[in-house]
Amino acid sequence: MMTTQVTLGKRIRKRRAILGITQRQLAQALVVTPQHISALEQDKRAPSLHFLAKLAEELGVTIDYLVSGKEGIITDTIPAIKADRRLKLQVKRALIVLIEELREPASSEDA
């Protein structure tokens, strides 16, 4: 039985497709060329650790997900919200405000 290995490049391409962004849009956000993104997606080039972190943040996933495919809880949801191109700006802002409010410790006045 032959299994298809999911690679870093395939995970990048899949996440980019889920977000509905083009290679050009991702490249502009990361200040690289679309050819660089294409090479990454084809596994012809490996990203540096620094670039991998920027890529994960832009795609709204963890580095662990990009490298291993292990899906886990995203520890910081704000980058995921910012990366999701399906959400309107007004919705993004509302979600971020809500998350920031939930992160703040409750004051004695709120009790």
Overall residue count recorded for the chain in this entry: 111
Q: What percent of the chain has pLDDT over 90?
A: 49
Tens digit of each residue's pLDDT (9 = 90 or more) over 25-53: 999 999 999 999 999 999 999 999 999 99
> Per-residue pLDDT for 92 more than 80?
yes
Do residues 19 and 74 touch, judged by C-beta distance below 8 A?
no
Domains of the chain: 8-103 (1.10.260.40)
